[in-house]
Structures are given as C-alpha cells and as structure tokens.
Structure 1
Amino acid sequence: MTKTLILDNGASTMKVGLAHHRLPKIVPNVILRGRNDRRHYIADQVDECTDFSSLLYRLAFEKGYLTNWGLERTIWDRVFKQVVKIDTKDTQLIITEPLFNLTSIQEAYDQIIFEEYEFQSCYRTTGPQLCIYNDWYSLFGGDIQTNSIPDCALIVDSGYSFTHIIPFFQRKPITKAIRRINVGGKLLTNQLKETVSFRYYDMMEETYIINDVKEASCYVSQNAMHDLDICRLDGAKNTIVQDFVLPDFTTTTRGHVRPHQMQSKNSKIKMSTNDDDQVLVMNNERFMIPELLMHPSDIGMQQAGIPETIMQSIQACDPELHGLLYANIVLVGGNAKFNGYQQRIETDLRQMAPSIFDIRVTTPIEPVIAAWMGGQRMFSNLSKSESQQMFVTRKEYMEYGSDICRRKFSY
C-alpha cells in the first residue's frame, strides 16, 4: 500500500510525518559539529549533543532558499531512513518550498525527489498554501462550519528567514498582494547575539545558547516605550528584568529562566551568591529584539513592520475582499510563539484599519506545525480525481521532466 509522507521543509526545522500520524516530528534541518568532541550531529542526532557551546552550524538554506543540496541530501537520508523509516520508492510525497522559489531550485527539487529518491509521486507547494486547509472551525470558533474554508483569508508566516504576508481568495494566493519582510527568527537571534556581546560579554559563537535565551525570555511588548521606562527603574520596581541561568554542560545542558536576584549595578554577568550558576541578566533585550518584527527600521531596514505590511497587502487586493481579509488573519511560524505577538498585531491593526471592518486575528495552538497539519487535512479530504490532478507521478516526470511539475504545481 502506498504511504503518503508530508514534509514541511523549513530552513531551520523540518516537520515530517506520514499522513496517518497524529502529529509530525520536528527535526532540526541542520548539521552541527561540536568544537570539543568533533562529532557531527545530523538532524535528530542534535538531541544526543551534551555540549552546545561554540557549535559549528551547517545549514542547507541560505537567505531562505535551498542552495546546498549535498548537505540537504545527507539530512534527508537520515530523516527518511532513521526518523520516519520509509522506503521512498513506495511513498508519495507532499513537500513545501519557499515562496517565489527560483526555477533552477525547483528543478533541483524535482530531480532529487524523482531521480535520486524515486518517490512514486509528489506534490510540491508552499507552507502558507497548506495552512489554508486547516480546521477554521477550531481557529475561529462557531462562526465557520467545520470542514469549510473561507473564501478569503490572510496568512502571516513569520519563520526562520523571512516574514511573508499572503492573502488568499478561494484557496489561491493573490500573487500581486504578497509581501515579504526580511526579518525572521535568524535575524532576531543574530541581533540578540550582537546586543549581548556588546553589552555584556562575547556570545558571538554561541548561536544555540542565544536562541534558547530568545525563546525563553523574549516577548512582544504592547507598549515598548512604557516598558523601556520600567527597565530604567531600580530594584523591585523593575518588573521586566529576569535572570537566564546559562548551562555549564557538566550538570546541565540547557539554560533556564529564574526571577532576578539583586546585584551590583556595574555587573551584568555574575556568579550567584547562592550557587555557582553563571547568570545572564535580561532587561530591555527581552522585548526590543522581537520589536524588530514590528519596526525593522530600528536597525536601519527600509521596510514596514508586520501590522503595516498586512495593511499594504490587503490594500493591494480588490476592495470587495478587504472586509473578509481583515476578518480571517492567521499567524503561523516560529515567531508566532512569542508572548504578546498576536495581541500586538491585532491592536496595531485596529488602529490602522478602517473602523467599518471587523478585525479577527488568531494563532493555531502549535503555529510551527500549522502547514503540516493543513497538509494532512488537505490530503484526507482529497478525492481520487483531485489527487491525480495535483500530484505528479514519477512516470510523468520521467516522460515530461520538470515542465509538468511547473504546470501542476503553479500557484
């Protein structure tokens, strides 16, 4: 029996699993090398690493596009054989690619999928396109009947490399209105590395640790100027400052957050008086780093933030669609997990949008796997004829080449 594998192939992590699985496995799309043990950790092997200090990262994606196929094949080999344990020759594949992917890269996808891995058939699409097929009833409650998809929806996909705003009409993206912001999780992590290294001490080689700090400590402020005022206060009046206890890789391999303990004003890194933990004090960094999603101009980028770009995207659509787009905004991607992210976007949009429109913004329970879940839901509702129209079989590819993929996978 033919199995169906769904692979949301992100630049930082891949969400992978068979269509009949309840949830996907989230696997790092990376090869790491430890500076001390010199061992290479491929994909899920990262969990076996015990010393995350000064790790050497090797990523197959560069600036949002898959460019290092030698590296990606090594990761896919591991994932297909050891993580999901499939025979690719007996499997059909649903795979995601970046928006506005280059034709040469798309051809490389097709060649490797059909010629090297010999998948039976393939459907190549984008993550936001799959997100459209999610359960809108659970996203917005009882306003929409189960299994129905609204005629208009807007997906805000803020991931590792970019943030994309994609409006949809009848399940098809409105290409002229798609907008991209060159801010993603990678830029936020790098900015936090530079800030910590400048203010406190050198963390430029500690990407893995700083990413943990970002995910554990950072949040999106509802009023950045007000929070900055709080950060200037002393003692218990500063309700924002907190300590991040760095791992020592002897007794602990992961850091954690704890309430701030008082210390000398001149010391940012300290040894606790109660124990031997090394502590990084997080103050205005907690919200000023994610603030870049709302104001990229803070670091000199000539781009609008997410709320303003949503407005630009909707304004680029036909006027009769505006109301429905404002009422069906879904936030997905890793950055959607920041506390305060949805509330800030909704508040800013309400201030910008015409008062005659209702603003509805929602985030799936797990925004990182939203595309995978949408792909699973889409596949489960496909008829046989719809499946034949969407998928390209290996036989068709061997006969017509990438031309048939371009025709069937156009979006």
Structure 2
Amino acid sequence: MATVVIDNGAGSVRGGWAGEPNPRHTMPNCTAKIKNQTVVLAGDETVDAVRDKSQLVYQRPHDRGYLINWENELEVWKRMFDASHLNVQNPQDHALLFTEPPFAPIMLAETANEVVFEELGFTACYRCPPAALSVYLEQVGANSAEVYSNALPPADAMVVVDMGFSFTHVFCFYKGRALQHATVRLNVGGKLLTNYLKEVLSYRQLNVMDEFDLVTQAMESTCYVAQDFKHDMLATRGLASPAHGPIVREFVLPDYKNVLQGYVRDPSEFTPEQRREHMAEDAPQSLRLESERFAVPELLFKPSDIGIKQAGVAECIVQAIHKCPPFLQPVLPGNVLLTGGCANFPGLQERLQEELRSLVPWYATVRVRTPLAPHLHAWRGGSHFAAGPDFTAFAVTREEYNEQGHRFCRERFSDW
C-alpha cells in the first residue's frame, strides 16, 4: 500500500510518494476565478491560466494559517491527485500523511477526519505539524548530502523554527518528541511580509496592491536580512548615498508583451547608454528597492515596527527554551534548525546566530543551521517517516476511525 505525502502549507502544497527524495509536484494552495467568469481554477492552473495575474480573484482555504475551507482545499487536492500529477485514482488503496499547523481547534480537526476517511476514503491517515517531520528527518537522514552542505550527527535536543506562510513557530524537541508546552508562536510569516512590501511600494512608487504573486517574486529575489540594520539604513539615506548604491536593485515588471516574467537588475552596473534606454518612455516599468530590501525581513526580528506587540524570533527562541526543563536549557541553543519558506532569506542564519549569542548565557554553545532546501525539509521528513515502520504505529486506519471516532484520532494525532 503506497502512501501519499502532502505538505499542506497555507501558501503552497507539495505532494509526492513515500520513500522518494523530493516532492513530485508543488503548486499554490489556492483556487481562483478569472474576473467575469465562473470557471474555478485550482493549484497550478492559477499559474498558467492568464498572463496578467491581476485578472484573477483568489480564494485560499486557509485563514490565519488554519484550514477552514475544505471545499477549496479539495479542489486543490483533486488537482494534485489527478492523472497529470500523482495519479491517485482510488484513495481507498492508499494511506495519507499530511501536515497541519499545531494546536488546531477541535472542530477543524474533526472536519479533517471526516474529509479524509468519509469523503475521500483513504485506508489510513496521519497528520502532524511540519516541524515534527523535520525532526524525524534529522534523526534518520541528517547525514545526507541532499539535506546539508556539511554532514552533521543527529542530536537529542533541538529547537526547530518553522517560518511559514502565515506565522512562525518555535518548537523544542527532546529525543524526537516535542515539548508541546514550550511552543511559541510569532504572528509574522511570508504572507504578512509580502503584504507589508505591497503597501510600502504602493505608497512610494506604483500601486501593486492587487499583485500579490508579483510582489512575492520581487521579495524572494531581492530581500535579505541585514547583519547591521543601522549601517544598511544609513547607506540608503537620501542624498547621503550614491544615485545607484550597492544596495539598490530594480525589479522589472512584466508588460506581458516584451517582458513575460519579472526579473532583477543592478543599476550600478548600467552603462550611460543602458541607463538612457531604461528611462525611455517605451521601456518596461520597474520597482526600485532600496531600504525595502532589508526592512521587510527585519519584521521577523522587530515585529513591533508595524505595531505587532510580540517579541522577535530570537527572543521567541529564548522564551521557548526557558519553558523547557533546566537540564535542557544549556544545550538547546546549540542545535537550532531553521525550516520553512522564510528561512530562504539570505543572511537570516548569520543574523539569528549573532542575536542568540547575545541573549543566552556565555557558557552555552550557539549554533543555527539551515538545510539546503528549508522549504522542502518537512516533506522530505514525511517521506522518510511514511516509508518506515513507525508510520503504521502512529497512523489511524479507516476501521479504527469508524469504530472509535474522533477521540481516537485526537489521541493519535496529538502525539508528535
């Protein structure tokens, strides 16, 4: 019996089969309609349906990170399961492993049980937070060159910082099990960062409030975490900086005629002739990113800059460690793992290492690590887990669900 592995993030969904090294398909976790039309597009159909994404009206199954609209989610899953993707023709012949955010309300969890077992009819199912699968991969596959550039031995005590689309969670694990009472949540994720960049660019340059995908692309290709925020900010201050300083980048917007895909260019490398060409009336429009490049990811460290009354990610890690037993507190800072899409920001690992060093005792070792593909880390862990002998011990079968109901599922699925 083959097992389908789904990393069901709020921003994107990754699907594949247990035992494979990488997901077969990744698609946006949303549905969309073209304006003035009734046809519903799902998953990767929203990517290629129209060139101008502003013509699409999106609807996401998740709200504040939690899955609340299974009607939309099933449209995305059906797209993932069709013959052109995973080709899951009869779910009754397969088991399912998929991720969910931690501490979901009971009503949402029970709805998920009903959809998986009653509507789709999978033979068995297990679901857990992505961080639990990342830890499993650390225990069984941390020496793989596909996971890390430098092979590292697994450790019993670990902090996992899952930086996702809707929020960031800090988990503490000991011997593969989460200390759930020590979990800390920060309400900053990729969606908030994109929305903040949209507002800044719309106020300063062009109105891009309807261009979520385009601004996300600009953020992912230009933004970085500053090692010295004040220094970089001074380097971009008005007349004190050159007209085309080393930090400035331009994101060229597609006009869907000559430019079909947005791209980044460095104004400091322009020749005078190129600069005149870019300033011509018929030249494609571009967004000029200066302090925005590092001010947007800075919200991960200083959410109070936009009025979020929470500690930054470094302080959240310290708060989570302080909730752990005393014998673990000196060793946890020495094994901090960054996962999720926001962990791809350049400079994040080095900045977090420096900030943690100033917050923990001098005798504690501080080591922050990032996998080669942090956004795939949870799915890879799920692939290892679903292909191993432990999966059957944790999964709930359809017969067990029919006999013992939601309470049995709640007991199994809360054990991570």
- Taking structure 2 as the reference length, what is the TM-score of the superposition? 0.91
Once residues 130 and 203 of structure 1 are traced to their aligned partners in structure 2, the CA distance between those partners, rounded to angstroms, is 36
Say whether 1:18 aligns with 2:17.
yes
Say whether 1:244 aligns with 2:251.
yes
Q: Which fold has the larger relative contact order, with Cα–Cα distance below 8 Å and residues 6 or more apart in sequence?
A: 2
Say whether 1:289 aligns with 2:288.
no
Which position in structure 2 is the counterpart of 1:266?
none
Q: Which amino acid aligns with 1:85?
A: N
Q: Which amino acid aligns with 1:172?
A: R
Say whether 1:206 aligns with 2:232.
no
Say whether 1:112 aligns with 2:118.
no
- On the 8 A contact 2:11/2:165 being kept in 1, the answer is yes
Once residues 319 and 237 of structure 1 are traced to their aligned partners in structure 2, the CA distance between those partners, rounded to angstroms, is 52
Which position in structure 2 is the counterpart of 1:31?
31
Once residues 143 and 243 of structure 1 are traced to their aligned partners in structure 2, the CA distance between those partners, rounded to angstroms, is 38
- On the 8 A contact 1:158/1:332 being kept in 2, the answer is yes
Give the secondary-structure state (helix, strand or coil) at the position aligned to 1:109: helix
Say whether 1:100 aligns with 2:103.
yes
CA deviation after TM superposition for structure 1 residue 98, in Å: 0.7
Which position in structure 1 is the counterpart of 2:67?
66
Q: Which has the higher mean CA deviation after the structures are superposed, 253-262 or 348-357?
A: 253-262
Q: Which has the higher mean CA deviation after the structures are superposed, 279-288 or 320-329?
A: 320-329
Q: Which has the higher mean CA deviation after the structures are superposed, 134-143 or 99-108?
A: 134-143
Which residue, out of 342, 346, 349, partners 2:353? 346
Say whether 1:176 aligns with 2:178.
no
Which position in structure 1 is the counterpart of 2:8?
9
Deviations 1:271-316 (A, max 9, x none): 6339611111111011101100010011111101111111111111
CA deviation after TM superposition for structure 1 residue 3, in Å: 0.9
Which residue, out of 175, 197, 200, partners 1:195? 200
- On the 8 A contact 2:246/2:268 being kept in 1, the answer is no
Q: Which amino acid aligns with 1:193?
A: K
CA deviation after TM superposition for structure 1 residue 105, in Å: 0.6
Structure 1 unmatched ranges of 5 or more: 264-269
Deviations 1:97-118 (A, max 9, x none): 1111111111011100000110
- On the 8 A contact 1:271/1:279 being kept in 2, the answer is no
Say whether 1:328 aligns with 2:342.
no
CA deviation after TM superposition for structure 1 residue 332, in Å: 0.3
- On the 8 A contact 2:245/2:268 being kept in 1, the answer is no
Give the secondary-structure state (helix, strand or coil) at the position aligned to 2:114: helix
Which position in structure 2 is the counterpart of 1:80?
81
Which position in structure 1 is the counterpart of 2:392?
388
Once residues 7 and 248 of structure 1 are traced to their aligned partners in structure 2, the CA distance between those partners, rounded to angstroms, is 35
CA deviation after TM superposition for structure 1 residue 410, in Å: 1.6
Aligned residues: 397
Specify whether residues 56 and 41 from structure 1 end up closer, same or farther in structure 2 by C-alpha distance, changes over 3 A only: same
Q: Which amino acid aligns with 2:56?
A: L
Which position in structure 1 is the counterpart of 2:376?
369
- On the 8 A contact 1:8/1:96 being kept in 2, the answer is yes
Give the secondary-structure state (helix, strand or coil) at the position aligned to 1:210: helix
Give the secondary-structure state (helix, strand or coil) at the position aligned to 1:322: coil
Once residues 228 and 293 of structure 1 are traced to their aligned partners in structure 2, the CA distance between those partners, rounded to angstroms, is 17
Once residues 401 and 253 of structure 1 are traced to their aligned partners in structure 2, the CA distance between those partners, rounded to angstroms, is 51
Which position in structure 1 is the counterpart of 2:260?
253
Which position in structure 2 is the counterpart of 1:307?
314
Give the secondary-structure state (helix, strand or coil) at the position aligned to 2:171: strand
Once residues 397 and 203 of structure 2 are traced to their aligned partners in structure 1, the CA distance between those partners, rounded to angstroms, is 54
- On the 8 A contact 2:157/2:175 being kept in 1, the answer is yes
Specify whether residues 176 and 349 from structure 1 end up closer, same or farther in structure 2 by C-alpha distance, changes over 3 A only: same
Q: Which amino acid aligns with 1:30?
A: C
Which position in structure 2 is the counterpart of 1:219?
224
Which position in structure 1 is the counterpart of 2:406?
402
CA deviation after TM superposition for structure 1 residue 158, in Å: 0.6
Once residues 119 and 360 of structure 2 are traced to their aligned partners in structure 1, the CA distance between those partners, rounded to angstroms, is 50
Structure 2 unmatched ranges of 5 or more: 271-276
Which residue, out of 324, 333, 349, partners 1:317? 324
Say whether 1:137 aligns with 2:143.
yes
- On the 8 A contact 1:54/1:205 being kept in 2, the answer is no
Which position in structure 1 is the counterpart of 2:386?
379
Which residue, out of 230, 252, 264, partners 2:235? 230
- On the 8 A contact 2:19/2:384 being kept in 1, the answer is no
Q: Which amino acid aligns with 2:5?
A: I
Once residues 99 and 301 of structure 1 are traced to their aligned partners in structure 2, the CA distance between those partners, rounded to angstroms, is 21
Specify whether residues 202 and 387 from structure 1 end up closer, same or farther in structure 2 by C-alpha distance, changes over 3 A only: closer
- On the 8 A contact 1:272/1:278 being kept in 2, the answer is no
- On the 8 A contact 2:163/2:341 being kept in 1, the answer is yes
CA deviation after TM superposition for structure 1 residue 394, in Å: 0.7
Which position in structure 1 is the counterpart of 2:125?
122
Q: Which amino acid aligns with 2:41?
A: Y
CA deviation after TM superposition for structure 1 residue 320, in Å: 0.8
Once residues 348 and 269 of structure 2 are traced to their aligned partners in structure 1, the CA distance between those partners, rounded to angstroms, is 29
Specify whether residues 130 and 262 from structure 1 end up closer, same or farther in structure 2 by C-alpha distance, changes over 3 A only: closer
Once residues 19 and 48 of structure 1 are traced to their aligned partners in structure 2, the CA distance between those partners, rounded to angstroms, is 28
The RMSD of aligned alpha carbons is: 2.0
CA deviation after TM superposition for structure 1 residue 34, in Å: 3.4
- On the 8 A contact 2:170/2:185 being kept in 1, the answer is yes
Which position in structure 2 is the counterpart of 1:267?
none
Deviations 1:130-185 (A, max 9, x none): 000112334484552xxxx4221110001100000000112111112100000000
- On the 8 A contact 1:54/1:206 being kept in 2, the answer is no
- On the 8 A contact 2:14/2:27 being kept in 1, the answer is yes
- On the 8 A contact 1:55/1:205 being kept in 2, the answer is no
Which position in structure 1 is the counterpart of 2:42?
42
